Chain A
Amino acid sequence: MNQPASAYFIEDRHDPNETHTLAVLVQNEPGVLARVIGLFSGRGYNIESLTVSETESQKHLSRITIVTTGTPMVIEQIKHQLDRMIPVYRVVDMTLSGRAIERELAMVKVRGTGEPRVEALRLADAFRARVIDATTESFVFEITGNSGKINQFIDLMRPLGLVEVSRTGVAAIGRGPEGM
């Protein structure tokens, strides 16, 4: 094995990366989000998307949804590392459970007149995006769906005068009657 002079064992890892969506139930207390984000940056994990909001205010519970990528061993580590944090109640791998619904909301601003403007409106209708703001030369569309659908919509808007996009990131929930 060829490697530079080092006090550490330097290895290439060849396992393929996977993308997983994790739902994390946490005590809503100061610094809890910083702990979660610090864990990811400190240990070199990826964050593709992160959403957080209080979900049960009486119990001070917040739900964080994280989309991350890594080798299967790294994904397993991420879950264990999250789970051992003191204010974390539960970590559920929504991708492994295979029965999760993922949704994202995006607001998409498109500027144009004439035919492109009509085309943007027509496509928005096809994607069930709503117009939530309009001027004579622009629209703001609100669209919800999985990330793929939103990516597709944004790609279609690009040649029609896309100005900017604001996305919430992914929220996920399991199907069926049971909670996490």
Chain B
Amino acid sequence: MSDKSHDPNQMTGAAMIVRALIDHGVQHIFGYPGGAVLPIYDEIFQQTEMQHILVRHEQGAGHAAEGYARSTGKPGVVLVTSGPGATNMVTPLADALMDSIPLVCITGQVPTHLIGNDAFQECDTVGITRPCTKHNWLVRNVNDLAKVLHEAFYVATSGRPGPVVVDVPKDVQFATGTYHPPRKSDVHVSYAPRVKGDAMQIRKAVALLASAKRPIIYSGGGVVNSGPEASKLLRELVEITGFPITSTLMGLGAYPASGKNWLGMLGMHGTYEANMAMHDCDVMLCVGARFDDRITGRTDAFSPGSKKIHIDIDPSSINKNIRVDIPIIGDCGDVLGDILQVFKAEAKKPDIKGWWSEIATWRARKSLAYKPNRDVIMPQYAIQRLFELTRGRDTYITTEVGQHQMWAAQFYGFEEPHRWMTSGGLGTMGYGLPAAIGVQVAHPDSLVIDIGGDASVQMTMQEMSTAVQFDLPVKIFILNNSYMGMVRQWQQLLHGNRLSHSYSEALPDFVKLAEAYGGVGLQVSKPADLDGAILEMISVKKPVLFDCRVAALENCFPMIPSGKAHNEMILPTEAADPAAFFASGKALV
């Protein structure tokens, strides 16, 4: 026997995978076993450093890992089998790519000699996941495995974060090879994301900011991704410049909702003041956002009179939708730090009193107002009460996708980054429940609430079983109106009020459903009972399905209709007579 047999770095591919995860500090992994990953599951069984969370569907594992990643800043790790295991992961991968969430997904694959043979549970995983990952690898040789795994972690977490897939055939998991711990040379030399912003561009940006009469800061998810330091710097910049600030859906919490310069979220369902300020500003500082179509409205009428500064770590985000005047490629945190330094040294706070008084008149329109109701719970009221009663607690919020998501963004005040997990880019219904599970795994003692809708939440309801199995007391707060509310809203606005398949004729009894899973079910339909029920939900130390029966036909305003600019929003007061409003729906576009 050679000395090699005693080399501790000699191990099977399956052991290497577990070892690499541990070397990267992974404490939790979300997954589902199957034929092509059994050797890895065997290794997981024989160790104690990392906990495996068994989900009920691979999509749940993916979203849980996203919630885990978004709430911790660490990569989320997923392990699924070949074929259907991998295809079920496609939605979370696409979701994570759109929202720049770092995920490392390990998929099993049929043995190398069977690849291409239409073997049992075979699919072209790298082919299928190529357009929905930042990068992916098929590892054919066990001696490449360590390098690929280390590179996978680096690629997922550096630059603009994103999901990666490492596809490992079963024979490679069984084969013995040499492992090495992470080292610098494990990374493609062709991959070197730029972190530091160009000094000249930063000087130009500061000069422009200092000369602004009607400035606005428009921040996004990139600030959150950059880490807590970036949010601190953003707050400092707002403080020393005195500028108003708005944020995308993904960026909520980077600047506190209670901050005096906060205008609320912008975009399709953003506040009137935020969108009007975007439209009329003369200098726009975009930090870690990407001028998405839900933000810009009509691009040819987007903020027509402004000079635009755009900070982004991904050069392909620059000039994609909107032409900007001063692009700065770099990490938000780094660039904000440099801007602050130059601003403090060379510029002084511009006088923008006139701009603030203009903003005050827009604020006075109270664009988030809704008609209170004493008999029926208004969905906005439910979110407001949830916010008030969880205020000051250590709370994390996830959402599904639809009206409830927009109401959550409008009415729940986020004070800190990493507290808000939502599917922004892909708009994945069914994201919130598994994401809440991932958040709760990372923060076992915190209050984790999924604000859901009755339709979305049923898409991944099976994960209640995961929550019960792992004692994860997630709270599923369902705004139940029996409709796919956002679909219905668009049908009312754009399709002549023909409500094609947007009503759920048969909903489960959510209370009984919760009990069937071993959780707790609560139901409330009167505004007077709401507070008590929310407090009960908070105090229960088990997973809760909270069936909050809300006004069935309420719609989400304000709203920028399609084909319109920021200054052509529909306000709730204008939408007060739904019949008249919807009758003219067709004419709106």
Contact = CB atoms under 8 A, between A and B. Distances in A.
Interface of A: 1, 3-11, 26-27, 30-31, 34-35, 38, 42, 73, 76-77, 80-81, 83-89
B563 A38 contact: no
A4 B494 CA distance: 9
A84 B188 contact: no
A34 B316 contact: no
A31 B165 CA distance: 14
B316 A9 contact: no
Contacts of A89: 189-190
B373 interface: no
Interface residues on B, range: 20 to 34
B131 A86 contact: no
A120 B280 CA distance: 67
Interface of B: 126-127, 130-131, 134-135, 138, 155, 160, 188-191, 293, 296-300, 314-316, 318-320, 323, 490, 494-495, 562-563, 586, 589
B562 to A, nearest CB: 5
B315 A7 contact: no
B131 A5 contact: no
Given A3-B562, A31-B126, A87-B188, A73 B319 contact: yes
17 contacts: A3-B562, A3-B563, A3-B589, A5-B495, A5-B562, A5-B589, A6-B562, A7-B562, A9-B298, A9-B562, A11-B300, A73-B319, A80-B315, A80-B318, A83-B316, A84-B314, A87-B190
Contacts of A38: 130-131
A54 to B, nearest CB: 15
The 9 closest A-B pairs by CB, nearest first: A80-B316, A5-B494, A89-B190, A86-B135, A80-B315, A86-B191, A3-B563, A42-B131, A81-B316
A85 B299 CA distance: 27
A76 B327 CA distance: 14
Nearest to B320: A77
Nearest to B164: A86
Nearest to A82: B316
A156 B293 CA distance: 49
Given A1-B563, A38-B131, A8 B293 contact: yes
Contacts of B490: 7
Contact of B589 (A4, A76, A83): A4
A87 B155 CA distance: 11
B131 A10 contact: no
Contacts of A80: 314-316, 318
B130 A30 contact: no
Contacts of B494: 5-7
B300 to A, nearest CB: 7
A76 B319 contact: yes
B563 A10 contact: yes
A88 B293 contact: no
A5 B188 CA distance: 46
B130 A35 contact: yes
Q: Which residue of B297, B314, B316 has the most chain A CB atoms within 10 A of its CB atom?
A: B316
Given A6-B562, A30-B138, 4 more contacts: A7-B490, A9-B298, A80-B314, A87-B188
A84 B298 contact: no
Given A34-B130, A38-B131, A83-B315, A8 B562 contact: yes
B315 A84 contact: yes
B109 to A, nearest CB: 14
A132 to B, nearest CB: 36
Contacts of A34: 127, 130
A84 B100 CA distance: 14
A4 B589 CA distance: 7
B316 A86 contact: no
